[in-house]
Structure 1
Amino acid sequence: MEVEFNLIDAPWIPCLCSDGQAVELGLRDTLVQAHELRELAGESPLVTAALYRLLLAVLHRVFGPEDYDTWCHLWRAGCWNAAWLDAYLGQWHHRFNLFDPERPFYQASDDRAKPKSLNSLVLDMAFGNKATLFDHHTDAEGIALTPAEAARAVVAAQSFGLAGLSGLPQKFTDGVCARGVHFFVQGKTLFETLMLNMLRYPTDEDVIPHHTDDCPAWEMDAPSERSLPRGYLDYLTWQNRHVLLLPEVTPAGVVIRQMTMAPGLRLDSQVLDPMKHYRIDKKRGPLPRRFNESRALWRDSAALFSLRSDDYRPPRTFQWLAELVDDGELDVSQTRRYMALGMANNQAKVDFYRSERLPLPLRYLSDDNLVGRLSEALKMAEDVRRQLWGATRTLATFILSPQADGSEARKPASKDLDGLTNQWAIERDYWSRLEIPFRQTLVALPDDEEVALSTWRSVLLRTAWESFDRVARNLGTAGPAFKAEVRARDQLALGLAKALPKA
């Protein structure tokens, strides 16, 4: 019995409507109704990012836009031309069948690979050494997915699959999205979000070099082995895995419990992703910005907005927005948002995945001086953090060794100091308290720099003392604790006066 699940028509893309209601739509309806939808809403940030890339590949193929004027025309239309979409999707309808016997969507067979469970396909489930927090699936148990769930898993795995052993002579390599954070500018609707992330296509040569035979994966009849993409569409749909789903027909409907998987295309490491932010290291070259469990992304906001610095290679969407602002197509006084989607991993192990959303006042993209003031605000926060850290070490020193200031006294061991200060987690508390005030400062700074920085200075002072007092209150008032608090409090007061001098 032949099984069919065509991604153009069948519902499988999770979306949020304008009223917040969750729905699943087919590829065609998602794009045609994009101006009425709020955003994509995958079960993980990895799925969401992969779906955005897939939709962008379709849109670039249909609409370009080949130049600035074409982009502006599409933007002002406010929705996609359904007739153009239908013509393209109708032409390639057969290539979007998830279970096509000859060319299943985003899949390829490898006779060397043996059938196995889907656990290694679903990136947020445990398998082998890739256990993620709170997931308790095992290889032995296996999982069963609906066609819609399996389709999303395949799309995400092609982008975010991790390097590792495959059971074959060739190893798995990282998918194009596996390392680094992906940045998407967010609009008020899904249509706006997709438009704001559509670069000119064919792209500039410094994005992804373009060849005349560039096309998305589903248009290729016999994809060749290669390490360099033919262009941006090839890159957006890069097939890093040879996955083949093995569907089963049950009384409850079609389910997928097994697949085959083998290594696919290996991407040249010199190819840079237009959606990532890179720091330029003099020795190692461009390094993608990654999520850090102990460092929120907002602390690097000034670097993200530094579009004309030799130290960074910003996301091309940010540079494209700057051009639209400079030419007046977008109002410089507007505040958009950007999404940062991705995961943190250690070799072949997923540590966590994350989605962060932050304000994007467009004035930062055209005003280097404003970015400098933002950098100043962030430096103030880091300077206060250093003073808070020093006072915390002093507090811990006198708690562990009340006579530490004596000439013959033995100072506490570093590991004991680290253990106590880690237990207090003052720095973590400090940074978490600052996140919302920073967002407010980020938005306020373009309107009145001096007032915003003055308010931020007050926030930093208050927050440092609140974080310190949270720990000090729990130490009691006994002699050693009192002495430790007095010493640390005096040090913090002097340090804050140095870090945040009054104007």
Structure 2
Amino acid sequence: MLKNMGGKSKIENTFNLVDEPWIPIENKGYVSLRGIFKKPYPQALGGNPVQKTALLKLLLAICQSAYTPEDDEDWDAMGPDGLAKKVPPYLEELRDCFWLYGDKPFLQMPAIKKKILARKNAELTSGTKEAVAESNAQPKDIGPGYYPDLPSDNNTILTEGQISHKLSDAEKALFIVTLMNFAFGGKRVEKDLEPFTQGYSGKTVSAKSGPSIGNHWGYLHSFITGSDIINTLWLNMFTQEYIEDSSMFKYKKKVLPPWERMPLGEDCEQARKLRDSYMGRLVAMSRFVLLEGDGIYYAEGIQYLSHKNGWREPSMCVNENTGKLLWVDPHKKPWREISSLLSFLSAKDDKFTCEQLAYTLKRIKNKKMNIGIWSGGVKVRANSGDQSIKQDDDFVQSETRIVSSYLEGGFLTLEQNINRLEKLSDYLYKIVSRYCNELNLNAASYAKSAKELFWQLCERKYQKLVDISLHDKDGDAESIGKYFIHCVYTAYDKSCPHKTARQTQAWAHNYARVKNFYEKKENKAAVL
């Protein structure tokens, strides 16, 4: 909206993120930034796993900007309620930095309109038809909004959810926040724009993906969750001492967040600070954008390294010896990776480390706190320079609830029990494959479906398995062990048809293998 001010047009500030509800809360609707820090504190962030991660990062960036504890002692003394008191004054002081629309819109780059106009004039000068040049200068369609991406012009619409619709201001705000860290790589950015940093030559026709999503399958991110959002934020905050000691961040001094000081271009001083700092991990300006009407001007922003070049985020799980990462896998829920996520607790040399989990758990290991280990992300694939969601790609997330003081002593038992479930799963795959081979069926397809069903059944009692492993409840171990045996029987029975005579013969033959497997003493003992 424009207002005439003595012959000059001024954009009106509207929709302030401090005041307006736009943050999704699980089973509660939306709250404002101010509402996050009001009692009773909201319990958990809503949205899909990528939106949750982006929102948590943004809220952490706001908390760290309001107050970064000097060391662990300072962090502990502050506590969750202390944090909740420190942030609101910061939001009030910087309220004018949180307008979604206006002269300085939140996490947006108004200068992009000048670049678009310059390109349009250049096209007209070169002989491009006026209608074509005008069409190229229009903002792009945002799409459904739940993916941090713009729709491709030739997308095949398969479901109603893929149809673009007019987004509310709350949905646009969430889209902008998610986009900064998780933008899909591809060619849907504005083309032939002059770089914002004069002489910058790092861009191609295909924009790099946001640093939090990666350029391969999709990074798996993990955080500690508390009893409510304020506890979660407090648990995951870093101290200045930790930031300075970490090898993850090249720039270790305090960096103004982008809502206080936006970068002027791809390689200006502020851009380099955001690229190399902890603040840049929390709010990465990977796209330079501007909301316009129901659309968006959309250009590639700061370019970040990938994991292949040494990029690390605290919430990523990395094996520093091999460089291997934990990726998102829709066929393997994150709870099945709990042994890897927590392997820093073991004495093994070859182990994964998630800095976000390791640092937080170290600080609270002597506190009897009921916490969660949450992991999530989205599986993507790349084709001809574009990242997209196709076929069986999907969002994944899971949470494991533990008592922090029990974890260190019970981790070995938990790791052994998860490994035993993997052993059962592998054996199930083997016997279903044998059944299929006897009938000349596609063994891989049947066995894969059987394993997926097995793990779906196991998930129902997974939290119970965690509790038994950490609390050493021998009496419950026997009953849950029988349940997991039943999961193997059920998955085999439902995955292997036995209606015809030949099917029944093959089914019975391999069912006997299952029975013999469990009658062996060592396998009975290995259930739990």
SS at match of 1:307: helix
Within 5 Å, give how 1:99-498 maps onto structure 2: 99-101=101-103, 103-108=104-109, 109-110=111-112, 111-113=114-116, 114=137, 115-119=139-143, 122-123=146-147, 127-128=151-152, 134-138=159-163, 142-165=164-187, 166-168=189-191, 169-178=204-213, 179-201=218-240, 203=243, 204-212=245-253, 214-220=255-261, 222-223=263-264, 225=267, 226=271, 229-247=275-293, 257-269=294-306, 270-280=310-320, 282=322, 285-287=323-325, 289-308=326-345, 309-326=348-365, 328=366, 330-331=367-368, 334-347=369-382, 348-350=387-389, 351-363=393-405, 365-367=407-409, 370-398=410-438, 400=439, 412=440, 416-419=442-445, 421=447, 425-448=449-472, 451=475, 454-471=478-495, 474-476=497-499, 478-497=500-519
- CA positional deviation for 1:221: 5.1
CA 238–346 in structure 1, closer or farther in 2 if over 3 Å, else same: same
SS at match of 1:396: helix
The 1-side partners of 2:357 and 2:156 are apart by: 34
Deviations 1:347-398 (A, max 9, x none): 201232233222233246433xx32222221221122222222221222233
Question: Is the aligned partner of 1:25 residue 2:40?
Answer: no
The answer to whether the 8 A contact 1:391-1:488 is kept is yes
SS at match of 1:66: coil
User: TM-score scaled to structure 2, two decimals?
Assistant: 0.78
The answer to whether the 8 A contact 2:432-2:443 is kept is no
The answer to whether the 8 A contact 2:411-2:470 is kept is no
Q: Which segment drifts farther, 449-458 or 311-320? A: 449-458
The answer to whether the 8 A contact 2:377-2:395 is kept is yes
CA 443–145 in structure 1, closer or farther in 2 if over 3 Å, else same: same
The 1-side partners of 2:158 and 2:272 are apart by: 34
Amino acid at match of 2:460: I
- CA positional deviation for 1:468: 2.1
- Number of aligned residue pairs: give it: 455
The equivalent residue for 1:13 is 23
CA 30–438 in structure 1, closer or farther in 2 if over 3 Å, else same: closer
SS at match of 1:174: coil
The 2-side partners of 1:286 and 1:421 are apart by: 27
The answer to whether the 8 A contact 1:60-1:201 is kept is no
Question: Is the aligned partner of 1:38 residue 2:50?
Answer: no
- CA positional deviation for 1:162: 1.0
Structure 2: which 5+ residue stretches go unaligned?
Answer: 3-10, 117-136, 192-203
Amino acid at match of 2:339: A
The equivalent residue for 1:254 is none
SS at match of 2:372: strand
Q: Which segment drifts farther, 157-166 or 446-455? A: 446-455
Deviations 1:285-337 (A, max 9, x none): 242x22212112222211111124543443323223332234x3x21xx4421
CA 435–131 in structure 1, closer or farther in 2 if over 3 Å, else same: farther
CA 418–323 in structure 1, closer or farther in 2 if over 3 Å, else same: closer
The answer to whether the 8 A contact 2:317-2:354 is kept is yes
The answer to whether the 8 A contact 1:377-1:456 is kept is no
User: Percent identity among equivalent residues?
Assistant: 19
The answer to whether the 8 A contact 1:35-1:192 is kept is no
- CA positional deviation for 1:453: 5.1
SS at match of 1:219: coil
- CA positional deviation for 1:271: 2.3
SS at match of 2:379: strand
The equivalent residue for 1:253 is none
The answer to whether the 8 A contact 1:181-1:277 is kept is yes
SS at match of 1:38: coil
The answer to whether the 8 A contact 1:241-1:265 is kept is yes
Deviations 1:9-46 (A, max 9, x none): 22222235xxx5x2433212322x1653212223x222
